[in-house]
Structure 1
Amino acid sequence: MNKRQIIEEKLSLITWSESLKGLADDVWFGPFKEGSWGIADVISHFISWDQFLLDYRLPFIMRSEEIPSVKVDVENINTKASLYARSGISKDNLINEFLSKREEVVSQIENIPAERFHEPIIIGKSRLIVSSYFSDLIEHDRTHKNQINAFLKDQNL
C-alpha cells in the first residue's frame, strides 16, 4: 500500500463509524456472541490503539528513528477500553472521540514523506517496511469492521 491508499483506508473507517450513531443501545452494547465484546467496546478499542500509535509509534516513524521497544499489556489496554465504553459515555461522544483520534492519526500520517513508506523501521528486534506496518493496522481495522458488519447483519440492520 502506498501513502495515499493508507490514508484513504484510515479515513474510510471514520465515514463508516459515523453510520453507527443511529444504533439502539441494545445493539450498541450487545455482545457479538456470548461473553464477547459489542460495538461500543470495539470503537473504544480503536481509540486506545490509535492513542498508542500516536504516543509510541508515529513520532519515531516521522523522525526516521528506531522505535523503542515498549512493554505492551494488550489485555490491560483492551480491558480498559471496554470499561471506558461502558462507563456511561454516550454513543455519540464515544464515536466522536474516535473520529477525533483517528483524524489526528491521519494528520500525522499525512506529515510523513511518501518515500518514507518504502523504508524499513525497527521495532525492538523486528524489522519491517513502514507501509507494511500500516497495512497490518488497516487489516486489524478491517477485521473489527467486518465483525461489526456481520453482527449488524445478524441483527437484520
Structure 2
Amino acid sequence: MNKEDILKAHVAYVNWLDELTNLNEIKGNTPYKEGKWSPNEIVMHLAEWDRFTLEERMPYMKEGAKLETFPNFEDFNAKAAARAHEQTFTETLAYAKTQRQAIMEQLEQIAEIEWDKIFYIGNHELTIRSYFTDFMEHDLHHKNQIALK
C-alpha cells in the first residue's frame, strides 16, 4: 500500500467509528457472539494498540532501529478489555477516534521516502509501510466482527 492508501484506510476507520455511534450502550457492550468480545471491548483493543503504536513504535521507526518485541498479546488484550468495562461505549469510541487521529497526523508528517526504510521489532524486519499495511489488516479483521446488521 502506498502512503495515500494507508491514510485513506485510517480515514475509513474513523468513519467506521462514527457509524458505531448508532449502537446503543446495550448493543455496544453485548458480545458479537457467545464467548467473544463486545464492540466496546473490540474498539478498546484497537485503541490501545493505537496508543501503544503512538508511544512505543512511531517515535522509534527509524532506519536500522531495533525496537523491543511486542508485549505479551494475551495480557495486553486482557487489560484493554478490562479498560472497556471501566467506561461507556461512547467514551471508548471517542478515545479510539482520538488515538487514530493522532496516528494519522504523525503519518502525514513522514515523507514517503522514509516509509521503506528498514527497522526491526525483535528479529522481524519491517518498514513503516509494512507495519501499517499489517495494521490495516488487523483493523479489517475486527471491523468484520462488528459488522452492523
TM-score by length of 2: 0.92
Whether 1:69 aligns to 2:68 is yes
Corresponding residue of 2:60: 60
Corresponding residue of 1:38: 38
Gaps of 5+ in 2: none
Take 1:6 and 1:59, find their aligned partners in 2: how far apart are those partners? Answer: 18
Take 1:24 and 1:140, find their aligned partners in 2: how far apart are those partners? Answer: 24
TM-score by length of 1: 0.88
Show CA shifts across 1:120-155 (max 9, x none): 222221113331111001000011011110xx32xx
Show CA shifts across 1:63-96 (max 9, x none): 4351322451211111111111111x12222111
Number of corresponding residues: 149
Q: Secondary structure at the match of 1:22?
A: coil
Gaps of 5+ in 1: none
Corresponding residue of 1:102: 100
Whether 1:12 aligns to 2:18 is no
User: Which structure 2 residues correspond to residues 137-152 of structure 1 after superposition, within 5 A?
Assistant: 137-149=135-147, 152=148
Take 1:122 and 1:71, find their aligned partners in 2: how far apart are those partners? Answer: 11
Pick one of 118, 122, 125 that aligns with 1:124.
122
Take 2:70 and 2:16, find their aligned partners in 1: how far apart are those partners? Answer: 32
Would you say the 8 A contact 2:43–2:96 is kept in 1?
yes
Would you say the 8 A contact 1:118–1:131 is kept in 2?
yes
Corresponding residue of 1:115: 113
Would you say the 8 A contact 1:54–1:105 is kept in 2?
yes
Would you say the 8 A contact 2:115–2:128 is kept in 1?
yes
Q: After TM superposition, where is structure 1 displaced by more than 6 Å over at least 4 residues in a row?
A: none
Whether 1:79 aligns to 2:73 is no
Q: Secondary structure at the match of 2:125?
A: strand
CA RMSD of aligned residues (A): 1.5
Take 1:66 and 1:34, find their aligned partners in 2: how far apart are those partners? Answer: 42
